Amino acid sequence: ALERTLSIIKPDAVAKNVIGEIYARFEKAGLKVVASKMKQLSRAEAEGFYAVHKERPFFNALVEFMISGPVMIQVLQGEGAVLKNRDLMGATNPKEAAAGTIRADFADSIDANAVHGSDAAETAAVEIAYFFATTEVHAR
Ligand code: CMP
């Protein structure tokens, strides 16, 4: 099915200057960028976005990392976009990520792991609405 998913290029990958290389991977896989913004997240925004992880031991480190510099946030659209983006990203822990995936190529650790992607269509809808008004997401 035609889907949309939320993608975040995290502060480590923005600092490495690989936004374009990561966008090229989305486009080559048939995903279209239908919304996009660079943003310095506030602590409250990062905590709210990752609220499901609030009780996990890595929560504070995750929030600190996500506010350590600007992120690039985008909505990707395409056939099976959620799974397609997850395949492009590779495993959460870059040490376990398959060769040729974004995390294998650009990530340094499970915290600084280059990208976030929604894990299901339902969470994608919530995550997209967290960062974008409906008028900021473009049919194309
Ligand atoms: P992300 O897809 O952005 O969702 C939550 C993030 O928490 C995850 O990527 C990792 O960067 C980070 N994280 C740190 N430690 C862990 C862990 N043990 N399990 C899952 N995620 C972790």
Active site positions, annotated: 116
One pLDDT digit (tens) per residue for the chain, 140 residues: 999 999 999 999 999 999 999 999 999 999 999 999 999 999 999 999 999 999 999 999 999 999 999 999 999 999 999 999 999 999 999 999 999 999 999 999 999 999 999 999 999 999 999 999 999 999 98
The answer to whether 89 and 101 have CB atoms below 8 angstroms apart is yes
Q: Is the CB of 93 under 6 A from ligand 1?
A: no
Binding-site entries: 10, 58, 86, 92, 103, 113
| Nearest in space to 98 (alpha carbons), one of 109, 106, 90 | 90
Q: Is the CB of 92 under 6 A from ligand 1?
A: yes
Task: Give this complex's ipTM.
Answer: 0.96
Q: Quick one: tokens of 23?
A: 């966008």
In the sheet that holds 2-9, the strands lie side by side as 32-39, 71-79, 2-9, 115-117
* Strand 71-79 to 32-39 pairing: antiparallel
